[in-house]
Amino acid sequence: MGRHLQSIAPHGGQLINRLASKAQVSEFLSKAEFLPRVQLSERALSDLELIAIGGFSPLTGFMSQADYESVVTDMRLQNGLPWSIPITLPVSEAIADQLNIDTLVRLDDPNGVFIGVLELSEKYAYDKLKEALHIYRTNEDRHPGVKVVYNQGNVYLAGDIWLLERRSHPQFPTYQIDPKESRALFLEKGWRTIVGFQTRNPIHRAHEYIQKCALEIVDGLFLHPLVGATKSDDVPADVRMRCYEIMLEHYYPLDRVTLAINPAAMRYAGPREAIFHALVRKNYGCTHFIVGRDHAGVGDYYGTYDAQYIFDEFTPSELGIAPMMFEHAFFCKRTKGMATTKTSPSLPEERIHLSGTKVREMLRRGECPPPEFSRPEVAAELAKIMHKMAIAESATEFQI
């Protein structure tokens, strides 16, 4: 290709690897029945895996009290490195009282399977209200992120972790591409600039529009839909992934796009989570990150572009990944295509906006979103699957 290729540095300068060696696994298994146990939630399991594979570099474990408090108040680790979301392991006071500092703790997945080890270095109480107000900008338990904080244990455990093995994803093993692999893949493809895209929703025309605008500027697009824990009314991950497969088959240049899963859980922390999502994609090897309308938002807790404004609180060099800001895209009746107020001369009544809530309601009734919102192949797939789910839910309610 005639040009020198080099990966972007991970956040903090080193891609973390906390996958236990064979010798460590053997040692941990020999002690398994004698170690105190903590059973992980779905979110904590996702966090454990992402720490281990380097997705949360430079973290090597669950946060100490000093790092936690610094992140909550200042959006930085204690050493000054930008970090906007606390990565913590909550337990009840009763469980915490049974654990001793400087000992190993067995970590089990939600099914009780031994999955990892925590080198317990600290346990500390924390202020739930303070965390809610700083991270989510609200103390209302209607907010799904705040609700999680209020319902979890009152003590955080801190310490380095080890993951016993990297298990294949039960739903999407072919799309499980860890940071070390994605970085190698981008080099193999000859991409110097890569833009990451985060979503928890099915792809629609506005997504496609901003992705392709970004793709005009960079070498490659890293589609990285989140498949960890989400709200109960969000569209299931398998449905969303199928929509991406359809889109890639019909509407994208395959040699310039990579689709992979992000195993993280959704926080719904709006602006703070936008920074977090960008740093995670930096660890996967992205040089740019798309930030659109109400990124990682929920309800009306955040302003339309708050997730873009928060990037002004950091210098480009300390983040190390460039945000690509996009306005709210819509279908313009006058120009017969996707646009934003930057590119369209249309009046408000000439613009077609569809909210995620309205689309979900249409899908549950078995109706196809209009072509102005979604490609027909995707709309048909969504309507078919979501209508089946709605029927199944109704049947279950009737039986109860």
Enzyme catalytic residues? 200-201
Q: How far apart are CA 43 and CA 230, in angstroms?
A: 9
3-class DSSP assignment, residue 27: helix
First to last CA, the chain: 63
Q: Provide the pairing of β-strand 103-108 with 37-39.
A: parallel
Residue 225 φ/ψ, nearest 5 degrees:
-65, 140
Cα 155 to Cα 40, 90, 233, 378: the distances in Å are 14, 6, 29, 44
CB 143 within 8 A of CB 301: yes
DSSP 48-62: HHHHHHTTTTT--EE
Please name the residue ranges forming H helices in the chain: 22-31, 42-53, 65-74, 93-97, 128-131, 144-151, 179-189, 205-215, 237-251, 271-283, 306-309, 316-319, 356-364, 376-399
CB 144 within 8 A of CB 178: no
Who's near 82: CB < 8 A, 6+ residues apart? Answer: 75, 76, 275, 279, 314, 318, 319
Strands, E, within 81-217: which ranges? 89-91, 103-108, 114-125, 155-163, 194-197
Place of tokens 């120009």: 335
Q: How far apart are CA 277 and CA 295, in angstroms?
A: 10
Question: What is the dihedral sign for C-alpha 227, 254, 308, 301?
Answer: negative
Q: Would you say how long the chain is, in residues?
A: 400
